[in-house]
Amino acid sequence: MIKITTPVLGEEELKEVKKVLDSGYLVQNKYVKLIEEFISKYVGTKHAVAVSSGTAALHLSLLSLGIKEGDEVIVPDFTFPATVNVVEMVGAKPILVDIDPETFCINTEEIESKITNKTKAIMPVHEFGNSANMDEIIKVSKKYNLKIIEDAACALGTEYKKKKIGSIGDIGCFSFHPRKSVTTGEGGIITTNDPEIYEKLQILRNHGISKVEGKVDFVLPGYNYRLTDIQAAIGVVQLKKLEEIIDKKINLAEIYNRELKNIDKIRAPKYQEEVRHTYQTYHVILSESINRDEVIKELKKNEIESNYGAYAIHALKYYREKYKLDDSEFKNSLKAYNQGLALPLSYELDEKDVIFVVKKLKEIIQKG
């Protein structure tokens, strides 16, 4: 089976995990500090806070900004539900915005019309390793005094105009899920330049604990969102491979682009000159004359794994029933959800694998 993605794991990760087990210090120790130092330096921020998942990173980010019941947060409609779920979890209201059909990121032309006196933040998602139009988002945020939380779960290493994603907004949130380029199994990390946000994030991830006059005290109702040293040890090794993995995925994406170029009924991702796209997912759009779900089934028969890329949030049961939003507001998101197809892309693949995937995809589409 040609998998959508496969984690790049080996003996080195096992050796580092054994060191943690032998030490007896399993939580919030040496390796957590190492992964935080690496990410802050790599992304280009003053601070990084390792947490238990990308979802935890988003949740704590909202809490650190004081976003609460009655507030509104602007979020793209096309994303993984975790992005919007955390807004609901803090009691705020997610204000959904359609996407740019070329980038799959939030349509910045529609943001301003959604802003009210309750709006507190914009949460752009750098979908599939691409980048949202951060210049426009910054412009709007400054005009209305809004915070920016970058959902960069898929975008570690992505650059916008030579700046690393996660260093442009007030907060950046990354995931180390196995589907990502590097993994800790589950895990995530938050980046920021703001010392007050950094301090609050540290308190919130660890039960609300802080040291007051040298003594431990519980200063906030916090969570257990800690990354273990076992996970961090895997991550420290993984991060050494990050640039090599990204370069390989970019190369494979270019082969996909070449092979798909002249195939009718398939739209490949658009290249943006100002963006270093890291291709966490290679996502295409099929013509509406094609049954995407049948294509997934047929590819599986040919030992090729494929899947949805992300979801149109307004169309999912909870959000559909609660907010009753009109499909006409989210035409691009719906098309990306209904006709989008994530194809295999990982470090373990090579050119012949990509050519085989495209060949079988073309045969399936031609058969109708």
Indicate which residues carry an active-site annotation.
180
Rounded distance between C-alpha atoms, residue 62 and residue 273, angstroms: 32
Rounded distance between C-alpha atoms, residue 95 and residue 73, angstroms: 6
Rounded distance between C-alpha atoms, residue 82 and residue 116, angstroms: 23
Rounded distance between C-alpha atoms, residue 285 and residue 259, angstroms: 15
Tokens (6 digits) for 231? 């996970």
Give Cα 220 to chain centroid, integer Å.
28
**Number of helices and strands (H, E) in the chain?**
12, 17
Rounded distance between C-alpha atoms, residue 327 and residue 220, angstroms: 41
Rounded distance between C-alpha atoms, residue 54 and residue 151, angstroms: 9
Would you give the DSSP letter of residue 113? G
* Residues with Cβ within 8 Å of residue 304, at least 6 apart in sequence: 1, 2, 344, 356, 357, 360
* Residues with Cβ within 8 Å of residue 26, at least 6 apart in sequence: 20, 228, 229, 230
Which residue, among 245, 250, 234, has the nearest Cα to 183 in the 3D structure?
234
Q: What angle do CA 286, 288, 290 make, to 5 degrees?
A: 65
Which residue, among 35, 2, 362, has the nearest Cα to 190 in the 3D structure?
35
DSSP 245-313: HHHHHHHHHHHHHHHHTT-TTEEPPPP-TTEE---SSEEEEE-TTS-HHHHHHHHHHTTB--B---EEG
Give Cα 132 to chain centroid, integer Å.
12
DSSP 3-state assignment of 159? Answer: strand
Per-residue three-class SS string for 117-137 = CCEEEECCECHHHCCCCHHHH
